[in-house]
Amino acid sequence: MAYPFGPSQKRDSSSDAVLQWKHKDTSLAQALHDTSMQSQYDAACKRLLSEKIVLAWILKECVPEYREETIDDIMNKYIEGTPEVSSVPVQGSRIQGGNTEDTDLHEGTIRYDIFFRALLPKGKGRLLLLINVEAQNKENPQYPLVSRMVYHLARQTSSQHGVEFTNDHYGDLQKVYSIWICMNAPKHRANSMNVYEITEKQVAGHVKLKKADYDLMTGIVLWLGDPASKEYKGIFKMLHTLLSNKVEEPKKRQVLEEEYDIQMSEKMEKEVSAMCNLSQGILEQGMEKQRIQDEKKVQRQNIKRMKKLLAAGIDKATIANVFDCSVAELEALSPKQTR
């Protein structure tokens, strides 16, 4: 094993500096590259989720208002316009107006992953739903995911003022949904779905209000994963197949077309191909990181061994030959011990 630097290079004589020499110039560049790859992968996932046929399946399987509707009707009659991807700010004066940007002190500009409006079938109460779909690779340990979802619901609701209703016409508020898809859930949560909504609880008396007047915010969390589970079917299998970096492109096409009648458009094919390529790149980067970590571990162990041999009075030339380094490099490791 060659030592981390050549004899002619300028170096710090401390063992820590010697150990880090090989990697210090590339760590930042590698981190930036990793972040870029992950960002591109996340963006491809969002664009796939924003396809109308995919959203139609999510609405049919998760949103009661569309349970009796066909995928074709949901896609072509009810979902309005083109769903917006990472363009509508969460913190803004209005729910619409994609050029408006607000910033959070710690997170910068915060935007919904996917935002769209969907008309309601006749007899389902209000005119439409405002729907936000979020894709999560993993849950942020700094806060509960469900708490952030509640924040999104509150913003979707309050931002309707001046758009869906004016003045005090709160009866014109439209119902909002926030649907969170966790792609790499731990096994004990995989293939699960929870719903969070406002309900009426009669504490005293028997007053019962019309549900449509308060049933205005619903949050849904789906946890994907574990193909071996008996619950791996329906929306869980469809979304996992579409988004997983462990399902190869031909298999994605087969499952989506044969089981869900999702014919891959040219745009979807392009996104799936890009996502598969990026996921392979991310996997290779992970392997490279592990290789570097293993190499650093070996280097640390070798430094400890060399120090012990030096302390025991073993000839420096012999040690240098065993560890494939020069005597000068060995002397730089611990000057006090080599005098």
Query: Which pLDDT score, from 0 to 100, does residue 136 have?
Result: 86
| Angle value at C-alpha 243, between 242 and 245, nearest 5 degrees | 115
Classify strands 175-182 and 217-223 as parallel, antiparallel or unpaired: parallel
Residue 100 has pLDDT above 70, yes or no: no
Q: In this structure, are residues 131 and 118 in contact, taking their beta carbons and an 8 Å threshold?
A: yes
Band the pLDDT of 102: cuts 50, 70, 90: very low
Query: Which pLDDT score, from 0 to 100, does residue 259 have?
Result: 94
Classify strands 103-104 and 108-109 as parallel, antiparallel or unpaired: antiparallel
Helix boundaries (H) for 183-265: 234-243, 249-260
Of 324 and 92, which is predicted with more confidence?
324
Q: What percent of the chain has pLDDT over 90?
A: 36
Q: In this structure, are residues 191 and 238 in contact, taking their beta carbons and an 8 Å threshold?
A: no
| Greatest mean pLDDT range, 60-64, 94-98, 186-190 | 60-64
Query: Which pLDDT score, from 0 to 100, does residue 300 have?
Result: 78
What DSSP character marks residue 91? Answer: S
Band the pLDDT of 277: cuts 50, 70, 90: low
| Cα separation, 91 vs 104, whole angstroms | 8
Give pLDDT tens digits for 114-159: 999 999 987 666 678 999 999 887 777 788 999 999 999 999 998 8
| Cα separation, 275 vs 33, whole angstroms | 16
Of 132 and 96, which is predicted with more confidence?
132
Q: Residue 276: which H helix or E strand, with range?
A: helix 266-311
Instruction: Choose the weakest-confidence range: 32-36, 88-92, 111-115, 161-165.
Output: 32-36
Query: Which pLDDT score, from 0 to 100, does residue 161 have?
Result: 87
Residue 325 has pLDDT above 90, yes or no: no
Residue 187 has pLDDT above 80, yes or no: yes
Q: At what angle do helices 52-62 and 27-49 cross, to 10 degrees?
A: 70
φ, ψ dihedrals at 253, nearest 5°: -60, -45
pTM above 0.85, yes or no: no
Residue 16 has pLDDT above 60, yes or no: no
Classify strands 114-119 and 175-182 as parallel, antiparallel or unpaired: unpaired
The distance of Cα 122 from the centroid of its chain, to the nearest Å, equals 36
> Can you give the length of the chain in residues?
339
What DSSP character marks residue 247? Answer: S
What would you report as the CA-atom Rg of the chain, rounded to the nearest whole angstrom?
A: 28
Q: What percent of the chain has pLDDT over 70?
A: 74
What is the dihedral angle through the alpha carbons of 334, 335, 337, 339, rounded to the nearest 10 degrees? 160
C-alpha pair distances (Å), 75 with each of 57, 128, 210, 316: 9, 14, 30, 75
Query: Which pLDDT score, from 0 to 100, does residue 7 have?
Result: 40
Of 294 and 149, which is predicted with more confidence?
149
Calculate mean pLDDT across residues 180-209.
93
As a whole number, the mean pLDDT across the chain is: 78
Query: Which pLDDT score, from 0 to 100, does residue 22 have?
Result: 43
Of 274 and 247, which is predicted with more confidence?
247
| Cα separation, 155 vs 54, whole angstroms | 25
Of 106 and 218, which is predicted with more confidence?
218
Q: Residue 155: which H helix or E strand, with range?
A: helix 145-158
The token pair at 338 is 């080599």
Query: Which pLDDT score, from 0 to 100, does residue 10 have?
Result: 45
Residue 220 has pLDDT above 70, yes or no: yes
| Cα separation, 80 vs 71, whole angstroms | 14
First to last CA, the chain: 25
Give pLDDT tens digits for 31-87: 445 556 677 778 888 888 888 999 999 999 999 999 999 999 999 999 998 888 877
Amino acid at 192: S
Classify strands 192-197 and 175-182 as parallel, antiparallel or unpaired: unpaired
| Greatest mean pLDDT range, 161-175, 192-206, 245-259 | 192-206
Give pLDDT tens digits for 299-319: 778 888 888 888 888 888 887
| Cα separation, 339 vs 331, whole angstroms | 9
| Angle value at C-alpha 194, between 213 and 165, nearest 5 degrees | 30
Query: Which pLDDT score, from 0 to 100, does residue 339 have?
Result: 42
Calculate mean pLDDT across residues 179-189.
90
Calculate mean pLDDT across residues 79-102.
62
The token pair at 184 is 């790499």
